Amino acid sequence: MGSAIRVWHDSFGKWIPGWWCEVVRVAGGTVYLRDLETGEEKDRSLGGTLGSAWKHPAPERLKGLGEQRATAHKTRLSQLRAEYERLDFSKTPQSEMEAVLKAELRWKDANMNDFFDMEEEFEIHETAMVKIGRELNQRGGFALMQQVCGDLGSPRPLDRAWHGIGDWRG
């Protein structure tokens, strides 16, 4: 108990989502972990965890660093959320909205491998796509939304983000 570990996922060839975790307790065939950055608790199979875990040599230093990272991360997310909530596309030309959509889709594509570590960021970035979808719907309805989506190659993330806007069903 009290050890700080990271778990490697052999099949995906990357660390299991989450930062360093503290071993809280072991019961039966399960190990209970607390993410040192988010405080979130999760459980894993003891066998699968022990075979692929890397133990940090100085967990006491790591715990303080995790709290600092968590505070900085929450501040950054709060600023990003506020920035995206202020977005207003009501006077934005369609070409600029399409450029924003392209940038958001590139961001999603570039970060998809880290989705489970960045779910909140993905949710925030989707705000711009939703706001643009609403504006396009207001300007030209389903037909304009279809045109823009088609011009962008009909990406699935955009289709999902626009689900429920006007007649759009993604």
DSSP assigned state of 2? -
Smallest CA-to-CA distance from 37 within 6, 82, 1, 80 is with 6
Write down the domain spans for the chain: 4-60, 87-161
**Residue tagged 């940090």 (tokens):** 56
pLDDT band at 10 (very low <50, low <70, confident <90, very high): low
Q: How confident is the model at residue 42 (pLDDT cuts 50, 70, 90)?
A: confident
Q: Is the pLDDT of residue 151 over 90?
A: yes
| DSSP letters for 109-138 | HHHGGGGGG-HHHHHHHHHHHHHHHHHHHH
User: What's the pTM value of the predicted model, to 2 decimals?
Assistant: 0.67
HSE (side-chain half, CA atoms, 13 Å) at 15:
12
Pseudo-torsion of CA 6, 23, 18, 65, nearest 10°? -90
How far is Cα of residue 39 from the mean position of the Cα atoms in its chain? Answer: 17
- Adjacent-strand bridge partners of 108: none
Q: 77 vs 61, which has greater pLDDT?
A: 77
Read off the amino acid at residue 60. E
Contact 66, 81 (CB under 8 A): no
Tens-digit pLDDT profile for residues 77-107: 999 999 999 999 999 999 999 999 999 999 9
For Cα atoms 146, 102, 104, give the angle at the middle one, nearest 5 degrees: 110
Q: What pLDDT score does 23 carry?
A: 82
Please give the helix or strand (H or E) that residue 161 lies within, else none: helix 156-161
